[in-house]
Chain A
Amino acid sequence: MPNTKPRRLRQVAATSVAVVLGATALAACGSSDEDSEADSGPVSLTYWSWTPGMDKVADLWNKGPGKDEQITVTVKKQASGDTLVTKILTAHKAKKAPDLVQTEYQALPTLVSNDVLADIAGDVDGVQDKFAEGVWQQTTLGSDAVYAIPQDSGPMMFYYREDLFKQYELEVPKTWEEFAETARALKKKSPDTDLTTFSANDSGQFAGLAQQAGAKWWTTEGETWKVGIDDAATQKVADFWGGLVEEGAIDNQPMYTPAWNKALNTGKQIAWVSAVWAPGTLTTAAPGTKGKWAMAPLPQWSAGENVTGSWGGSSTAVTTDSKNKSAAAKFATWLNTDPAALTALAKEGGIYPAATTAQTSDAFTEPPAFFSNQPDFYTQASEIAKTTAPSAWGPNVNVAYTTFKDAFGKAAKDKSDFGAALKTMQDDTVADMKKQGFEVAE
């Protein structure tokens, strides 16, 4: 091909280089300083949340108190989970995080250590009294700062099939020892039926159980972190469940699978260690068992104790990227403490509020439809919620959770030593923190 056109192409190349340079220049303009506060005049805020119906709750604000304050909130619905934390971190890198984010308690240290969350202590005077001590403490990370307002909480409870417990002549276990006995007794009476399963696919459950036993997975002393995943309390919990799995007293298949749903539906599994939100999960997982379940406090480590852990729950936080932090804090406070807001949240989003007064409000006089056989469901729930043990989250809960899924998932499948899996979880978590540059005490 002799008749080529080098000149034309060179022009094209030059033009494209110019375009790229232009874009870079444009980009440079965009990233000017954006730290200025502008807390007067009409303000509009964006809020990333996964709670269903949050837009309707925000409308209550926009038409009510928000109108007087000239603060408009727009909800952008997100998918929940660790992926959202990644998305928030990415957005923050570009200084584009929304004003408000919904975040699970265990993600707070990760976000704080990446400087995503603003300290709103100055804007939330007196709010602390509305929440149980163990819940509030999660939003301060043990400091004087306040990084979020608690929204919902997930006190753990014991759910069981009332009818089948009667049929198999089982007592509701009050201690973990009785729980193990119940599992064994059931196996004897009906070898195909399991009391419950040990599942490694939701780390929050194990974390809550360890919390109940008194574990403190992350603690700080000055600037130094101490990781206690492999502490005596957690070892006790791991050995307990590992033992039950090894002797075959309970199942070892993961939960939230179609097979698990089927087992709950057909009465092959007759109990579930879960949290206050379990009725919602059971509604879709085991729709055929409506009205046959009952809820009781979590079994205790020693008789007469009264402690529970928490599994799930989330908070509302203000980001450092927000230009209207005080306005955002005002909305977060209203959302999680105002009776009207909390009633709407409970109705639209099905959440169990963290604010203690709301737990006994009008929205919670009736039991969940799935538990219509237990009229005092929410009265009991609010009593249990008061006994929530404090939790201690660190900056890399996601890493600990991932190792839990891998190590314990494998141990449960092989019915092997849970203690070794716990050691792996501890070692990987410490190694990751050191890699991230945290000072970790041995």
Chain B
Amino acid sequence: MSSLAVRKAAPAAGTTPGTAQGPPLRRRIAFVPTLTLLLGAIYCLLPVAWVVIAATKSGRELFSTFTFLPGTGFAENLSDLNAYRDGVYWKWMGNSALYAGLGALLSTAVSALSGYALAIYRFRGRETVFSILLAGVLMPPVILAIPQYLLLAKADLTDSYASVLLPLILSPYGVYLARIYATAAVPSDVVEAGRMDGASEWRIFTRVALPMMIPGLVTVFLFQFVAVWNNFLLPYIMLSDDEKFPITLGLFTLLEQGANTPALYTLVITGALLAVIPLIALFLVIQRFWSLDLLSGAVKS
């Protein structure tokens, strides 16, 4: 999703100078970016198209018919997926929604609080805390999964919903984004004015600063949601009960069934297709919050 947006944005920016240069040149320049744009779109959409088409093929058709020729097995694939281990797929879907929804919500809340604090308050060690956070942004979460497992094992929390949710709550990237956004969107004058009127710090945060930070927090929420939805290693290490698996892990068990049982390709492909739908829906619904003006509602000094 995001890579598509970036890809589109870059060539589009290139067209602007061309418009001032007269018709012949403009046409030439417009051709190149359009082509680039088209290639980028094809590059991004082709795999999606493959998944959509492959999901319609039955096991017989999957590897024997032409790749982009739709098959006849979609309904069968759906009912097979639905029937697999008494519908455990929907359980995985629900688990993913829980991990991603609740996890992203909690993480956004923590990011909002800490980002606001880092942006508005001045205290000793603020920059140190922020630098450590920045280092955290650079640290891939993958390498933390095993230490986190060992830590949670000591607290007897492994193989539980909490074991996947807890490590997700603190997201350095989310805090970083929230701080940057709060610095830009919440003017110190507004906070000052709130204090003059006798509002408590908590009231200023919830009633004044938070509404200004909403567009930034939506971004944090979306990033976290997608990250958790696609997360693999952390739940893989933490969970052993497949009733608690998120969708990524569930589909993996369908693929790796041991040498003597074939991989359930048709189920995995159909399952993967269905698993993208919530993400697409979420983006379409929440997208409009992004277009809000950065400083909507703020007073200008």
Contacts and interface: CB of A to CB of B under 8 A. Distances in A.
A27 B63 CA distance: 51
Contact of B156 (A30, A90, A283, A311): A30
B261 A76 contact: no
Nearest to A97: B240
A94 B122 CA distance: 41
B60 interface: yes
Contacts of A28: 154
B64 A262 contact: yes
Given A265-B63, A284-B265, A76 B242 contact: yes
Interface in A118-162: 152, 154
A8 interface: yes
B117 interface: yes
Contacts of B236: 83, 87
Interface string A232-259: 0000000000000000000000000010
Interface residues of B, number: 44
22 contacts: A5-B121, A9-B117, A30-B155, A50-B253, A50-B256, A79-B253, A80-B258, A83-B256, A91-B158, A94-B150, A96-B153, A98-B240, A152-B260, A261-B62, A262-B63, A266-B64, A280-B262, A281-B262, A284-B265, A311-B259, A312-B260, A349-B261
Given A27-B155, A288-B64, A351 B237 contact: no
Nearest to B124: A6
B63 A285 contact: yes
A381 interface: no
B149 to A, nearest CB: 6
A78 interface: yes
A277 B121 contact: no
A148 to B, nearest CB: 15
Of B188, B261, B263, most buried by chain A (CB within 10 Å of CB) is: B261
Taking chain A's interface residues, is the majority helix, strand, or loop, or is none over half, making it mixed?
A: mixed
A276 B258 CA distance: 13
Nearest to A23: B155
A349 B146 CA distance: 31
A352 interface: yes
A330 B242 CA distance: 25
A3 interface: yes
B260 A265 contact: no
A31 interface: yes
Q: How large is the interface on A (under 10, 10 to 19, 20 to 34, 35 or more residues)?
A: 35 or more
A101 to B, nearest CB: 10
Given A30-B156, A87-B236, A95-B153, 20 more contacts: A1-B120, A4-B122, A6-B124, A28-B154, A30-B154, A46-B240, A50-B257, A51-B258, A79-B249, A79-B252, A83-B236, A90-B146, A91-B240, A94-B150, A94-B153, A94-B158, A154-B259, A204-B259, A283-B262, A285-B262
A3 to B, nearest CB: 6
Contacts of A52: 257, 261
Interface of A: 1, 3-6, 8-10, 23, 26-28, 30-31, 46, 48, 50-52, 76-81, 83, 87, 90-91, 93-96, 98, 152, 154, 204, 258, 261-262, 265-266, 275-277, 280-281, 283-288, 311-314, 349-352
A79 B255 contact: yes
Nearest to A274: B259
B201 interface: yes
A50 B256 CA distance: 8
Contacts of A350: 260-261
B192 A3 contact: yes
Given A3-B195, A77-B242, A79-B255, A87 B237 contact: yes
Nearest to A280: B262
